[in-house]
C-alpha cells in the first residue's frame, strides 16, 4: 500500500548512465517463543534457552524489523475516463497493504527473517491482515488497540492503472510512540536492519535514529507521502538508506527538479543532511543514486508497456534494494533488483506479487538483463 502516487510505469530500456565520480515482553511470552518461535531460527531459540547473550547485533540470523503501517487497501478501477461530480462505473477489490507491511511481506517472500511492529484495531480488518501476512513475517509485536480502527487506504485508479486519488485513514499509527517502541527494545537490539516508514510520528523516528546509532544497527527510512515529510528528524546521520520520490524531495528540500542537474543536486541535498545512501525516484525517468562513496549514478527505468496497477511499486523497489544490500551485492545489482521487482509488481494486480522469491527475482533479472547480473 502506498498513500501517494508512487512511481508509475517504466518506459525506457535499462541503461546505466553515470554523472561521474526495559522490555515489556512478559515471561509468559518468552516461554511461548521458546516453544513455538515465529521468526527466529531453531539455532537462535536454542541460544536463548541456553542463556547466551544476543544483545550484540551479529546480523546473520537476526530479523529485519519493519515498523509502520499495515492497512486494508480498497481499490476501485475506473472502466472509463473519470469524471468529477458524478458516479463512475468501476470494478473493485480489497487487499492487504501498508507501506511497512508491504515491504515486510516482500522481504519475507525473499526468504528473510522479518519482524513487524505496528498498531492496529482489534477488528475484522486486522484479522484479514494477520491471515495474509503471518506466513511471511512475525506479527507477535503488533499491538491491538480497542479504541482504534485498523488503518485503511482507498485508491481510485484510471483505466490505465494510474492512481487518480487516494484516501487514507491512518490515525491508528499515531500510537506507534517512543513509549511503545521502548517496550520493544530487546527485539530491536537483535535487528539486522530496521526499516521505518513515515506513518510513524516524528518523535518515534527520532527515537529510532538515536537507538540505531547507539546499537550500530542499519536504519532505512521510507517516506509515504509529501504531507508526512515533516516527520523526518532534523539530522539524517543515522540513516543508511533514504529512498524517496521526486515530489517528497521537492516538498522537503524546497526545490524543483526539472532536469538531470536538479536531480543530482537533490540527492546531494539529502546527503548534506546526513543520509549515507540516497535514491530519488522519478517515475518513467528512473532513479538517481548517491552512495556513501560520493558517486552519483542515473538508472533509467525498465520498459513496462502494459501497467496493471502501480500500487505497491515503490514498496517492491525498496524491499529488493534492502534485500540485495544486506546480501552485500554490488551497487548495480542492488538498484537493478529494485527496478525489476517494481517492474514486475506493476504488471500484477497484487500489491505484493505472489510469485516473488529469492530464486524468482534472480531469474527475472537474468531474463531482463540477458543473464548479465552478478
CATH number of the domain enclosing 318 = 3.40.1190.20
Question: Is 3 domain-assigned?
Answer: no
For the chain, strand residue ranges (E) read 17-20, 64-67, 71-78, 90-97, 114-117, 119-121, 143-145, 151-157, 163-169, 193-197, 219-222, 241-245, 277-281, 287-290, 296-299
Residue 57: name the closest of 276, 255, 223, 211 by CA.
211
Strands 287-290 and 296-299, how do they pair?
antiparallel
| Per-residue pLDDT reduced to its tens digit, 286-336 | 999 999 998 899 999 998 888 887 878 999 999 999 999 999 999 999 999
pLDDT at residue 170 above 60?
Answer: yes
| Residue 362 located in a structural domain | yes
DSSP 165-179: EEEEE-GGGGG--HH
Is the pLDDT at 41 greater than 50? The verdict is no
pLDDT at 373: 61
Is residue 287 domain-resident? yes
Q: Which DSSP letter does residue 138 get?
A: B
Quick: pLDDT tens for 142-152. Answer: 999 999 999 99
Residue 124, burial from CB neighbour count under 10 angstroms (0-12, 13-18, 19+): exposed
Looking at per-residue pLDDT, the higher value among 281 and 349 belongs to 281
29-43, 90-104, 133-147, 166-180 — which is least confidently predicted?
A: 29-43
pLDDT tens profile 188-201 = 999 999 999 999 99
Q: Would you call 52 helix, strand, or coil by DSSP? A: coil
- Look up the pTM and report it: 0.80
Residue 338, pLDDT above cutoff 60: yes
Give the tens place of pLDDT for each residue, 256-285: 999 999 999 999 999 999 999 999 999 889
In a domain, 147, yes or no: yes
Q: Say how many domains are in the chain.
A: 1
The single residue listed with the C-alpha cell 539530522 is 235
DSSP secondary structure string for all residues of 277-338:
EEEEE-GGG-EEEE-TTS-EEEEPPPP-SS-S--TTHHHHHHHHHHHHHHTT--HHHHHHHH
Grid coordinates belonging to 82: 473519470
Q: Which three cell numbers stand for residue 154?
A: 482507498
Q: Does residue 2 lie in a domain region? A: no
Banded pLDDT at 182 (limits 50, 70, 90)? very high
Q: Domain range for residue 50?
A: 17-21+28-368
Amino acid at each position: 500500500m502506498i498513500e501517494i502516487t508512487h512511481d508509475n510505469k517504466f518506459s525506457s530500456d535499462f541503461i546505466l548512465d553515470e554523472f561521474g565520480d526495559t522490555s515489556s515482553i512478559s515471561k509468559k511470552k518468552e516461554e511461548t517463543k521458546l516453544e513455538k518461535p515465529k521468526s527466529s531460527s531453531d539455532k537462535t531459540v536454542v541460544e536463548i534457552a541456553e542463556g547466551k547473550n544476543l544483545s550484540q547485533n551479529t546480523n546473520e540470523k537476526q530479523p529485519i524489523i519493519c515498523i509502520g503501517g499495515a492497512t486494508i487497501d480498497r481499490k476501485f478501477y475506473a472502466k472509463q475516463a473519470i469524471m468529477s461530480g458524478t458516479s463512475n462505473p468501476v470494478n473493485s477489490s480489497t487487499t492487504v497493504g501498508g507501506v511497512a507491511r508491504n515491504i515486510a511481506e516482500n522481504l519475507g517472500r525473499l526468504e528473510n527473517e522479518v519482524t513487524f511492529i505496528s498498531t492496529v484495531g482489534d477488528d475484522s480488518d486486522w484479522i484479514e491482515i494477520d491471515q495474509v501476512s503471518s506466513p511471511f513475517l512475525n506479527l507477535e509485536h503488533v499491538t491491538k488497540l480497542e479504541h482504534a480502527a485498523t488503518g485503511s487506504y482507498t485508491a481510485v485508479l484510471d483505466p490505465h492503472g494510474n492512481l487518480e486519488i487516494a484516501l487514507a485513514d491512518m490515525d491508528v499509527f499515531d500510537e506507534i510512540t517512543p513509549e511503545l517502541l521502548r517496550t520493544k527494545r530487546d527485539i530491536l537490539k537483535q535487528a539486522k536492519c530496521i526499516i521505518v516508514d513515515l506513518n510513524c510520528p516524528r518523535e518515534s523516528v527520532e527515537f529510532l535514529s538515536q537507538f540505531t546509532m547507539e546499537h550500530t544497527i542499519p536504519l532505512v527510512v521510507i517516506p509515504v507521502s509529501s504531507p508526512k515529510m515533516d516527520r523526518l528528524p532534523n539530522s539524517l546521520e543515522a540513516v543508511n538508506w533514504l529512498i524517496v520520490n521526486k515530489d517528497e524531495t521537492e516538498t522537503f528540500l524546497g526545490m524543483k527538479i526539472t532536469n538531470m542537474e536538479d536531480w543530482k543536486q537533490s540527492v546531494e541535498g539529502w546527503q548534506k543532511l546526513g543520509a549515507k545512501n540516497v535514491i530519488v525516484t522519478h517515475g518513467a525517468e528512473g532513479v538517481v543514486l548517491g552512495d556513501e562513496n560520493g558517486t552519483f549514478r542515473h538508472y533509467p527505468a525498465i520498459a513496462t508497456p502494459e501497467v496493471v496497477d502501480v500500487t505497491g511499486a515503490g514498496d517492491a523497489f525498496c524491499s529488493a534494494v534492502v534485500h540485495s544490500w544486506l546480501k552485500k551485492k554490488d551497487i548495480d545489482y542492488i538498484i537493478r533488483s529494485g527496478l525489476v521487482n517494481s517492474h514486475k509488481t506493476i504488471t500484477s494486480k497484487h500489491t505484493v506479487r505472489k510469485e516473488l522469491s529469492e530464486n524468482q527475482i534472480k531469474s527475472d533479472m537474468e531474463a531482463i538483463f540477458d543473464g548479465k547480473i552478478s
